[in-house]
Structure 1
Amino acid sequence: MSTKNSHNIAAQLRPVLTRLVRKMRKLSPIDTPLSQTERAVLVSLENQSLLSAELAVIEKITPQSMGQVITHLNSLGLIEKTPSATDKRKVYLSISTLGKEMIQQVRNERDEWLSKAISEVCTAQEQEILKAAIGPMAKLVEF
């Protein structure tokens, strides 16, 4: 495929993806008192325990800002703190059961909306095209 063709696809795809992501983010429950960064921290802690400094690097925010995020998540009971067995100055953070439930609720709501949108606005042929596009889109995410 030519570079010009790739550029044209990128120019058309980028704004559509941006709008879709924004719309999906807005679908979070209104009564959820979490910022996008706080939700991202919960997702980062979903399968592993991390230190506050590690989370700050992942989220590209200052350690002080991460401290505020952690304080808020902890006050809501969404994370758990575990002191390091080898270094008492370190505290590992993990997602709590309540945190997992909240993340799953948001995912379920987004999945329901997307499923409804696909079934109501896309023809069967368009649905097959979307299904076929998942593989190439996943490659883009991993690039």
Structure 2
Amino acid sequence: MNKMDQQKDIQLAVDLRTVVTRLIKILRRHSVTADKLSLTERSVIAALDLHKELLPNELATMEKITTQSMSQILANLQQRGLIKRRISETDKRKAIITLSETGAQMLYQVRTERNAWLNEAIEATCTAGEQELLKKAIGPLTKIVNFE
């Protein structure tokens, strides 16, 4: 591959990163509910929604932060009533973290606010053909997201 082809390939990565980053920032602005929590707190709530229950060290590993930092985040979320802790029946030293009803409602409200804005933006700015292109792009984008 020559240098010109490499630059074109890199430009695709640059353009994709730029547009995805801007979209994320815009989506964050379009949820009043989400402003009440940090990015890591929102991520922890989403992980608990997906996995139903996790140990604090599992959450820390997923978020790539220390267990001490996760402890602070969990204490804040528990104080707000967004998560619940219960002691493991098999190992009394372990706390199992789950999403509370209030936490689930907040997560779903954030998603609803963001989905509504994104749907409105897509309908207002994209032709039917462009909307089909977006649908086709979801598969390759998902592959990129899952690449480690």
Given the two structures, how large is their TM-score scaled by the length of structure 1? 0.90
Q: 1:8: which partner in 2?
A: 11
Q: Could you tell me which amino acid in structure 1 is paired with residue 114 of structure 2?
A: R
In structure 2, the CA distance between the partners of 1:71 and 1:13, relative to structure 1 (3 Å rule), is same
Give me the whole-angstrom Cα distance separating, in 2, the residues matched to 1:31 and 1:52: 22
- For the residues of structure 2 that align with 1:104 and 1:87, how far apart are their CA atoms? 32
| 1:42 lines up with 2:31 in the alignment | no
Report if aligned partners of 2:86, 2:96 keep a CA contact under 8 Å in 1: yes
Moved more, 19-28 or 116-125: 19-28
Aligned match for 2:29, one of 26, 29, 34: 26
CA distance in 2: counterparts of 1:82 and 1:76, whole angstroms: 16
Match of 1:82 among 58, 83, 86: 86
Using the TM superposition, give the Cα deviation of residue 6 of structure 1 relative to its aligned residue in structure 2, in angstroms. Answer: 3.1
State how far apart, in whole Å, the 2-side matches of 1:33 and 1:127 are. 32
Structure 2 residue 56 is matched with structure 1 residue 52: yes
Q: Deviations over 1:89-111 (max 9, x none)?
A: 11100101111111010001110
Cross-structure match for 1:105 = 109
* RMSD over aligned Cα atoms: 1.9
Off by >6 Å, runs of 4+ in structure 1? none
* Deviation for aligned residue 1:62: 1.7
Residue identity matched to 1:7: I
Counterpart residue identity of residue 42, structure 2: R
The residue type equivalent to 1:77 in the other structure is G
Extract unaligned runs of 5+ from structure 1. none
CA contact (8 A) 2:60 2:66 kept: yes
Take 1:142 and 1:51, find their aligned partners in 2: how far apart are those partners?
Answer: 23
More helix by share: 2
TM-score (norm. length: structure 2): 0.88
Unaligned runs of at least 5 residues, structure 2: none
